[in-house]
Amino acid sequence: MTTYLGMPSAPPPAPRGVGHLRGSEPFPVAARRALADSQLRRNLGNATATIRAKRAAAVAELPDWEQLREAGRAIKAEAMRHLDTHLLRLEAEVQARGGTVHWARDAAEANQIVTGLVQATGADSAVKVKSMVTDEIGLNDALAAAGITAYETDLAELIVQLGHDRPSHFLVPAIHRNRAEIREIFLREMDDVDPALTDNPPALTEAARLHLRKIFLSARVGISGVNFAVAETGTLSVVESEGNGRMCVTLPQTLITVMGIEKVIPSWQDLGVFLQLLPRSSTAERMNPYTSMWTGVTPGDGPQEFHLVLLDNGRTAALADQTGRQALHCIRCSACLNVCPVYERTGGHAYGSVYPGPIGAVLSPLLTGVQDNATLPYASSLCGACYDACPVKIDIPSLLVYLRARHVEESRHDHRVPSAEALTMAAAAWVMADPRRFAAAQRAGKSGRVLSRGGRMRALPPPLSAWTRARDAPAPPAATFRQWWRESGRERS
């Protein structure tokens, strides 16, 4: 245990079985396709603008919001500093109260454990409350391969599952869908739906409720994630808005909870801070409608068998990185997604990872190793809006810059042949090291004015075309600074 959570000075290699964390194609390629989808951009623009305005109002109600943020940051930093101690305490408390704790090094191990546990009950299906960590490990696919059907019960996750789609937002996984699209999915995929279903939100919700109710009442196994795990009592907590999570963790006979090891917090008192920070930052509510908590097993009340699967899957590698480890403080509120100008235009699918948006752009490379998600740290304008919005003050812009530097460093070691960027930088350094070379380069650069229109250059020849593929460049001035200095007579004065 101590060895497993030890903190070597250099991050260990990413573990086997990183699940659905690795992008299938580079971000720039996926983003270009997303940007061409005007319906997607409209859906995202409307949804993020609404959530942003509501969140700002909810946060403004609290005069001590900044102090709460600082408290959240400090609690998470302390929890990460002594993670091994808190996890062992959590394990002991859960087991003392009748639960069983399993440790999984990676996605493959976690899937094997959960599949085996479901099979041991004799069930061929399970109900699930929205859980990003089970998306991360690809649990639904692993269960399906073993002949077990996983039913998503969160409304948005249900839409994603029925649409054979992927989530694109932490909190609103179907944010890229509008009402008309959801109605079509329900009519196509639900065998018990009213054919006269309209796209009125209450009607869509009622259709989902009726569909899920039968599934809930016959479920023998529930599978959940965790928002917070309190080490001092062994209590697990899930916060949600619909009540489906409450049914998942109370109705079935067996409950299996999969938890990333960074979700542990030391005490009940700490939980009070996060239960204020999370709802206002995520759904812009003062309090979550449903906050479910359970501690081990209670005879005659709720599930009579409880298993907690503690998942690493790259987290100890991130923890070992003294700079990167603050990404593990994330409470998955999604505030950084909603304020990000890049996310608002591309949506979550372009990131190619279960964790999209600004935090996904740092968390995914930290979990998999930078080379496996190399384009994500560049998927940002570094405007800083994510840092301002984050309820636990994760400095995402600095992490992005840090990961870009790591990527450059690691690429330097990996490639014997220098990259085009390295060659360009070396040439620039050579030119700038000598005043005559620099002046000659400036004179040559002025010829670029023929490519400009309205003071901007929209397309440069290779290799500079990489810059103008996504943005324009200012036209070179008619005179260099030195010329201007000379011609204005200042040189003599």
Residues in 341-360 that interact with ligand SF4 by CB under 6 A: 359
Tally of CA atoms within 13 A in the half-sphere of 418 that contains its CB: 8
Residue 62: both structure tokens together: 């609290």
The interface with ligand SF4 within residues 254-283 (CB under 6 A) comprises 281
Rg of the Cα atoms in the chain: 26
Q: 190 in helix, strand or coil?
A: coil
Cα–Cα distance, 493 to 489 (Å, whole number): 7
Nearer to ligand SF4, 114 or 172 (CB): 172
In the bound state with ligand SF4, the residue whose beta carbon lies nearer, of 208 and 389, is 389
Kindly state the tokens that stand for 415: 């490639």
Under rule CB under 6 A, residue 340 binds ligand SF4 = no
Q: Is the Cβ–Cβ distance between 294 and 235 less than 8 Å?
A: yes
Contact between 305 and 94 under an 8 Å Cβ cutoff? The reply is: no
Smaller CB distance to ligand SF4: residue 254 or 364? 364
Nearer to ligand SF4, 91 or 154 (CB): 154
Cβ nearer to ligand SF4, comparing 256 with 331: 331
Which C-beta is closer to ligand SF4: that of 111 or that of 334?
334
Q: Give 48 or 281: the residue with its C-beta nearer to ligand SF4.
A: 281
Nearer to ligand SF4 (CB atom), residue 75 or residue 359? 359
Tell me the window of 240-248, 263-271, 334-342, 400-408 that interacts with ligand SF4 (CB under 6 A).
334-342
Read off the DSSP letter of residue 125: E
Query: In the bound complex, what is the minimum distance in angstroms from residue 402's beta carbon to ligand SF4?
Result: 15
330 touching ligand SF4, by CB under 6 A = yes
Please give the size of the binding site for ligand SF4, defined by CB under 6 A: 14
333 binds ligand SF4 (CB under 6 A): yes
Please identify which residue in 44, 101, 318, 390 interacts with ligand SF4, judged by CB under 6 A.
Answer: 390
Binding region for ligand SF4 (CB under 6 A) out of 18-26, 101-109, 253-261, 327-335:
327-335
Helices (H) and strands (E) in the chain, counts: 22, 12
Site for ligand SF4 in 131-150 (CB under 6 A): none
Q: How far is the CB of 279 from ligand SF4 (least distance, A)?
A: 12
Interface with ligand SF4 includes 389 (CB under 6 A)? yes
Measured from the CB atom, the residue of 72 and 245 that comes closer to ligand SF4 is 72
Q: DSSP label at 419?
A: P
| Cβ atoms of 227 and 287 closer than 8 Å | no
CB of 330 to ligand SF4, least distance (A): 3
Selected range binding ligand SF4 among 63-71, 112-120, 324-332, 459-467, rule: CB under 6 A: 324-332
User: Contact region for ligand SF4 (CB under 6 A) — 26-34, 332-340, 439-447, 468-476?
Assistant: 332-340
Interatomic CA distance for residues 195 and 106, integer angstroms: 44
If the CB atoms of residues 76 and 102 are measured against ligand SF4, the closer one turns out to be 76
- Binding of ligand SF4 by 391 (CB under 6 A): yes
Q: In the Cβ-directed half-sphere of 363, how many Cα atoms lie within 13 Å?
A: 27
Of 91-99, 133-141, 331-339, 411-419: span binding ligand SF4 (CB under 6 A): 331-339
* Side chain identity at residue 416, one-letter code: R
CB of 326 to ligand SF4, least distance (A): 9
Q: Is 334 in the site for ligand SF4 (CB under 6 A)?
A: yes
Pairing verdict, β 290-295 and 235-240: antiparallel
Select 102 or 332, whichever has its Cβ closest to ligand SF4: 332
48 binds ligand SF4 (CB under 6 A): no
Among 90, 127, 336, 361, binds ligand SF4 (CB under 6 A): 336
Residue from 80, 238, 335, 457 binding ligand SF4 (CB under 6 A):
335
Longest dimension (CA), the chain: 95
392 binds ligand SF4 per the rule CB under 6 A: yes
SS3 128: strand
Give the shortest CB-171-to-ligand SF4 separation in angstroms: 9
Residue 158 and residue 305: Cα distance in Å, rounded? 26
Q: Rounded distance, CA 164 to CA 462, Å?
A: 40
Structure token pair of residue 197: 């279903």
Q: Give dist(CA 307, CA 5) in Å, integer.
A: 22
- Nearest to ligand SF4 of 174, 331 (CB atom): 331
CA-CA-CA-CA torsion sign (372, 373, 378, 382): negative
Q: Strand runs (DSSP E) across 203-247, as ranges?
A: 221-224, 228-230, 235-240
* Stretch near ligand SF4 under the rule CB under 6 A, chosen from 173-181, 213-221, 251-259, 384-392: 384-392
* Contacts by residues 118-122 (CB-CB < 8 Å, ≥ 24 positions apart): 118/143, 118/146, 118/148, 118/221, 118/254, 118/256, 119/146, 119/148, 121/220, 121/221, 121/253, 121/254, 121/305, 122/220
Distance in Å, CB of 274 to ligand SF4, minimum = 10
Tokens representing residue 240 in the block: 């949600």
CA proximity to 138, closest of 24, 262, 278: 24
**Which residues of this protein are in contact with ligand SF4, per CB under 6 A?**
281, 330-336, 359, 389-392, 394
